[in-house]
Structure 1
């Protein structure tokens, strides 16, 4: 018997509710128990014997004990329904079901195909949108350059190999400013260089 069962039977023994067979089984299990467990069981019995305030001041009917004990024994003896099932004892069958509706299968295949088509379309549209955003950014930069220096100079800067670019480096370390000088030999007087 486990310690919890011994304590439960000790409670019933303290109240005088064990029949002869149950009392003999309790005494045998109590004698086999370790001394620490025996002391714990005796403490529980003593505690329950002194706590009469927990019981009502009503005398139970004479046949109530026998009715309760008989009902408990009857329930314990009837194997009609299991009290619980362990999941480890249940075997999960991995056999595919054969009774799936053809409509369900057709709908599943259709939805899978639609998901593939929609996914491919989404990725394609996303790539086109990224390319369009890149083109718009490039156009914005070119427009900013044209408004800053004028159209003929931008075309010469971007397409002519004679255009020279010189980057300035900061004199003071840690300075965050940037400067760049563009020059072209064909630009006229006063327009030989653009500083940005």
Structure 2
């Protein structure tokens, strides 16, 4: 089996987002810079409406997610919610791209939030995508002060906690990759999760 491939999806669709900076930090610190960082701001996916055909940007993101064996979603909390661009991504990229891939959730907050996006995505982000959210997640609070060269005691804890979470992701990914083809069987007949 070849080495697993990972994608880190920065789900902010704002320019200069802390989520993108933190995605880069996660890539360098825990994936030796070898994960594919997908920036939803740069991708600028069109709004899915059920009628529109996938453009080159959508096809590029679909292809990059399809080759990933494990995923990290870096999700800012905006007004207590996940960004609309992430929900749009789930409409463009469904079970053919995401199904039965382990995924680590990383909530991001400029202050003390971040937990609401974890709860939101655990309750709704898997149904038709068939993503496998890890039981572990991360919440990166006071994001502007994190991993910027001013390490304190809480940052050292978060570094260890993040390493633990990424190790879980890698372990799940390596264990599930050989079984993925079997797990995908039947999705043509049952493409949508039951409600």
Instruction: Name the structure where helix makes up a greater proportion of residues.
Output: 1
Instruction: Name the structure where strand makes up a greater proportion of residues.
Output: 2
TM-score (norm 2): 0.18
TM-score (norm 1): 0.18
Structure with higher Rg: it is 1
Higher relative contact order, structure no. (Cα contacts within 8 Å, ≥ 6 residues apart): 2
